[in-house]
Amino acid sequence: MDEAPILIGYDGSENARRGIDSAFVLFGNRRAVVLDVAPVITPAESLATITPGPYAFGELNLSDAETAAEEGARYARAVGLVAEARADVAAPTWQAIVDVADEIDAAVIVMGTRGLNGARELFEGSVSHQVAEHAGRPVLIVPPPADR
């Protein structure tokens, strides 16, 4: 088994699970880090900050990311990868993914994608596009099924 791990971006979606499936098919049972990056503050949480009060959104979001990352790592282990979970809270998301890939010296970054294009990609953003643009290492972007 190659020493350099693969980094798998995971957000709990079906597209993220497709990324895990593809990682196993292409790279076999190698070591993987399954990463979920939560936002510092969600859009709903930003509305809550209009009223004064003590907020611990970062801690709550990190807890959610840890739960999602562990779910993804369990799924990855079930398909045959040697996987560990990792979570972070950061903005922008793509930068956190690139930073973790650099930290662990990932052989490749694997990500599912929603398959956005054109105006939707500009409006909603594409984490996978930003990662591919800035990673400086191979990035495997797994598209949604063709029948969508």
Where exactly are the structural domains of the chain?
Answer: 6-142
Strand ranges for 3-107 from DSSP E: 6-9, 31-38, 82-89
Omega before 52 cis (within 30°)?
no
pLDDT in tens, 43-83: 444 444 445 554 556 677 788 899 999 999 999 999 999 99
C-alpha 42/C-alpha 32 separation (Å) is 28
What's the whole-model pTM score? Answer: 0.82
pLDDT in tens, 17-38: 999 999 999 999 899 999 999 8
Is residue 112 within 8 A of residue 13, CB to CB? The reply is yes
The class level of CATH for 6-142 reads: alpha beta
Is residue 79 within 8 A of residue 17, CB to CB? The reply is no
